[in-house]
Amino acid sequence: MTSGTDRDASLADVGEFGLIGRISEIVAATAPGEDVLVGPGDDAAVLRVRKGHVVVSTDVMVEGRHFRRDWADAADVGARAAAQNLSDINAMGGRAQWLTVGLAAPADLPAQWALDFTRGFAEECAKVGAGLVGGDVSRADQVVVSVTAIGACTVSPVLRSGAAPGDVVAICGRQGWAAGGLAVLGRGFRSPRVLVEAYRRPEPPYDAGVVAAEAGATAMVDISDGLLAEAGHVAEASGVSIDVATASFEVPEPLLAVGQATGADPLRFILAGGDDHALLATFPADVALPDGWTRIGTVGAAPAEGAPRVTVDGASYDGPTGWSHF
C-alpha cells in the first residue's frame, strides 16, 4: 500500500530508477503473455513473433497540445495514450500485442501521476490483450509521452491506398463525441458529462479492424484528426474522390445540446472531430457491411484538376475538416 508520504513524492524524490522500478511492478501485474521473452528492465524487450505481418505505430502526446492535466487525470491520459496507438494497429486490420512508452516530465511532477498514468495505460492495453513491455523516462520542461505499438495482421494489412471507384465508405464507432467534450472543456464547463468522458477516455471499436479486413475492406484509417481530413488521406493515397452524405449521420442529443449552448453546428463535431478513434473504411459495393459499420458515402473517380478530393453532399465543403499540427 502506498503511504501518504509516498504519494506526495516528486519524480526528483523518487529518482529515475526508483520510478522505473515502481512502473515495472505495475507492468508485471498485467502479465503481458508468453510471447514476451524479455520485458522491462533490460536494454530492449525481446518478443516472439509467431506468424503474419508485423505492424508498428508511434504517436506522441505533448502536454498543453494534446492534453491538459487540469482537464483529465493521469489514468485518463494514460488510457488515451494507449487508445490512440491501439487504434492505429486496429486501422491496419491488425491487433496490438506489445507497447513501449517514453515519458519525459518535469522533476517536480508527482511520482504518483506517472504511476497512475501507467495504470490507466495498462488497463486500456488489457482490453485487447496487449502488454506494456518497456520504455524510457527522462526530464523535460513539460510532460511528453511517446508510445510505440507493435502488433500483427493475420491477413493482408489494409492500407489507405486501396479504395477504388464504386466502393462504399463506412464508419464504425462513435464520432464527434470527443470533439464535443473538448468544446465543453474549452469553455470551462464539465457538462454534458458523457461528452467530457468521451474526450478523456475514448472507446475505439477495437474488434472492428480485424472484422473489416476479413470482410474485404479495401482501405481503412483511424479517425484521429477528423473524419473529412482522414477521408482526404484515403482519397489522396488511393487516387480517388470521396463524397460524404450528411443524411447518414444521426446527431446524438448531447452534441445537439452543446451546439445550442455554443452556437456551433453540431454536425461539424462529427465531420471534423477527432480523438474518438472510430474507423473509416471503404468496401466493394457488393460486400455486406459487417455488424457495427454504417455506410456514409461513396468513392468516385479521381477529381478533375483543382476540384476537391472530398465533398460533402456532392459539393465542396468550406468548414473545418479536422486537426492540423502545423
Residue 6 is assigned to a ligand binding site? no
Residue 225 is assigned to a ligand binding site? yes
Report the Cα–Cα distance between both ends of the chain, in Å, rounded.
44
Residue 224 is assigned to a ligand binding site? yes
Residue 222 is assigned to a ligand binding site? yes
Say if pTM beats, i.e. exceeds, 0.95: no
Residue 275 is assigned to a ligand binding site? yes
- Let me know: does 64 contact 148? Beta carbons within 8 Å: no
- Let me know: does 287 contact 166? Beta carbons within 8 Å: no
Residue 161 is assigned to a ligand binding site? no
- Given its phi and psi angles, is residue 219 left (phi above 0), alpha (psi -120 to 50 degrees) or beta? beta
Residue 167 is assigned to a ligand binding site? no
Tens-digit pLDDT string for the chain (326 aa): 344 447 788 878 887 667 767 777 776 666 556 777 666 665 556 767 777 788 899 999 999 999 999 999 999 999 999 999 999 999 999 999 999 999 999 999 999 999 999 999 999 999 999 999 889 999 999 999 999 999 999 889 999 999 999 999 999 999 999 999 999 999 998 889 999 999 999 999 999 999 999 999 999 999 999 999 999 999 999 999 999 999 999 999 999 999 998 888 999 999 999 999 999 999 999 999 999 999 999 999 999 999 999 999 999 999 888 865 54
| Bridging pattern class, strands 310-312 and 241-244 | parallel
Spatial CA neighbour of 205 closest among 322, 60, 118, 93: 93
DSSP β-bridge partners for residue 279: 172, 222
Residue 18 is assigned to a ligand binding site? no
Residue 116 is assigned to a ligand binding site? no
- Let me know: does 85 contact 66? Beta carbons within 8 Å: no
Domains of the chain with CATH codes: 10-153 (3.30.1330.10), 160-312 (3.90.650.10)
Residue 313 is assigned to a ligand binding site? no
Residue 13 is assigned to a ligand binding site? no
- Let me know: does 180 contact 273? Beta carbons within 8 Å: yes
Q: How far apart are CA 58 and CA 320, in angstroms?
A: 26
Spatial CA neighbour of 236 closest among 125, 177, 167, 162: 162
Residue 138 is assigned to a ligand binding site? no
